[in-house]
Amino acid sequence: MKKLVVLGSVFVFIWSLFTYSIPINGVYADDEIYYGYFEKAATGEESTDNQNFFMSRDGIEKIRVYCINHNTMAPWRDNYEDAVSSNLAFEKILANQANLEDAVQENIHGADLEENVRKILYYIDYIDQNTLTTLLSNKLVWRATGSGVALSQEEIGLYDDILENTVVPSQFVVELFKPNPEDDNGARRQTLARGYLVYQDGVVGTMVSVDGESASASAALTLTSEDNLTIDVVDTIAFEGLFADETYNVTTTLYQVSGGVLGAEVKKVETTFTPPTADGTTNVKFADVTLEVGKTYVVFEEMVSVNSFEFADGNKPHRAEHKDVTDNAQTIIVKQSYPEYQDGKIGTTVSVDGESASASAVLTLGTTDVTFSNVTLEVGKTYVVFEEMVSANSFEFADGNKPHRAEHKDVTDSAQTIIVVKEDEPALEDGKIGTTVSVGGESASATAALMLTSEDNWYNRCDV
């Protein structure tokens, strides 16, 4: 890269008067014209290799640019006014692969040319933030564009490290400033380049989950419970377009929501995150958060870079957020759960005067007695008892609101059966009499009859 060297002030004056003093019209549209000039570096050797080059449209806006080729003429005026008067005009074009190939003297990097230039320019202006010397910055650009410039081993090591490890965000734009082709010196002047960030919010998409169950774009995460839940809620944040290796402050907030309107804040989690790549995912956990039955919740996310960056529209941090109260994927609905309806169970045992029926199984969860008072049971008949229990109140079950029931109606159940049997008639038997006779106080016995002695009959002479 060399400046034009002239011999004598008269030659410079005549050259300027006849070649450059007439403004260019009709070659570029007025809003496309930039004028190029240089400023000497603050430190370092007095050399054309150690100069800072700029483009400006009005003398106020000042754009730092880098020479693409080492051994081709660069703008040689040292201020904007002289650049205008000398008509050092340039057209701004996009620095794509084709335009770069047209601008360099020889493309020794093939298909990697555009990516190499992007990495070097991004490193110089945003990662290193212009702490490199002007000379080293220029050398790195020249090596990326294939210019024959000598670098030290240390400088080569830096160059290789930049190409291997620098991740350029999609918001980084590289532009070329192409010299006026109708200028007699235009073919000999070289194209210059600059890179800058166009501000564009990162993109965030989220998915909430609880115990492995996740929401989706088509359906919110629905939880059911009889009571309020105290659980861990995990918010998986999928991001695109962040600045790799830059630290972000991440604020994740859980809100109640009703009818599409944001309600009370439930819990906020603040953390930091350094994405290794521009696109990826990270998780944030709301630990031991209480969710109320019958409520709906939504999670909002905000990511703000710790550092600020020089964008085309000013210096500011980079942001990404997702705050959509209607997004199913970041919504949790807690519904009231109800028990599945199941009839109660009844086991019965009938008894009369303390005598009970029996069965092979007895229900022991609870008992109650029912008495059939003054009931007449007929001899020779069999009876069975049926039971039905229906709750006075209704309850909300999974299949609807209704009373609870329990019944036992089994005609074969011995435990609830009574059989009335007729008693047997007694066998007819003779009665038995035992006697003892006595006369005058003398009695017979079981072993001896009563013996009386007399000369005459005892008629009317004794009582028997």
Q: For residue 82, what pLDDT is reported?
A: 92
Residue 345 inside a domain? The answer is no
**Residue 256 sits in the same domain as residue 383:** no
Residue 297 inside a domain? The answer is yes
Most confident of 171-180, 352-361, 407-416: 171-180
Pairing type for strands 229-240 and 89-94 reads unpaired
Q: What is the mean pLDDT of residues 358-380?
A: 73
Q: What is the mean pLDDT of residues 182-207?
A: 82
Residue 442 inside a domain? The answer is no
Cβ(245)–Cβ(167) below 8 Å: yes
CA–CA distance, 141 with 270 (Å, rounded to integer): 41
Residue 127 inside a domain? The answer is yes
Query: Is a pLDDT exceeding 60 seen at residue 195?
Result: yes
**What is the pLDDT of the chain when averaged over all its residues?**
82
Burial of 329 (0-12, 13-18, 19+ CB in 10 A): buried
Q: What is the mean pLDDT of residues 315-326?
A: 95
**Residue 175 sits in the same domain as residue 214:** no
Residue 433 inside a domain? The answer is no
**Residue 181 sits in the same domain as residue 209:** no
> Predicted confidence band at 287 (pLDDT cuts at 50, 70, 90)?
very high
- Please say whether the dihedral angle defined by the alpha carbons of residues 288, 292, 294 and 298, taken in this order, is positive or negative: negative
**Residue 368 sits in the same domain as residue 321:** no
Query: Is a pLDDT exceeding 70 seen at residue 142?
Result: yes
pTM: 0.64
Range in 28-42, 51-65, 315-329 with the lowest mean pLDDT: 28-42
Q: For residue 106, what pLDDT is reported?
A: 80
**Residue 222 sits in the same domain as residue 310:** yes
CATH (domain of 41): 2.30.30.670
CATH (domain of 273): 2.60.40.3930
Query: Is a pLDDT exceeding 80 seen at residue 3?
Result: no
Q: For residue 386, what pLDDT is reported?
A: 86
> Predicted confidence band at 44 (pLDDT cuts at 50, 70, 90)?
low
Closest CA relative to residue 251, chosen from 268, 274, 265, 273: 268
**Residue 216 sits in the same domain as residue 282:** yes
Range of the domain at 77: 9-197
- 326 C-beta neighbours (distance < 10 Å), count: 9
Number of domains forming the structure of the chain? 3
Cβ(80)–Cβ(37) below 8 Å: yes
Of 197, 223, 256, the residue at which a domain comes to its end is: 197
Tokens encoding 52:
């800072």
Residue 164 inside a domain? The answer is yes
**Residue 360 sits in the same domain as residue 384:** yes
**Residue 75 sits in the same domain as residue 155:** yes
Residue 431 inside a domain? The answer is no
**Residue 186 sits in the same domain as residue 213:** no
> Predicted confidence band at 184 (pLDDT cuts at 50, 70, 90)?
low
**Residue 55 sits in the same domain as residue 137:** yes
Residue 342 inside a domain? The answer is no
Percent of the chain with pLDDT over 90: 42
**Residue 190 sits in the same domain as residue 102:** yes
Of 336, 366, 399, the residue at which a domain comes to its end is: 336
Of 180, 197, 214, the residue at which a domain comes to its end is: 197
Exposure on the CB side of residue 126, measured as CA atoms within 13 A: 31
**Residue 293 sits in the same domain as residue 369:** no
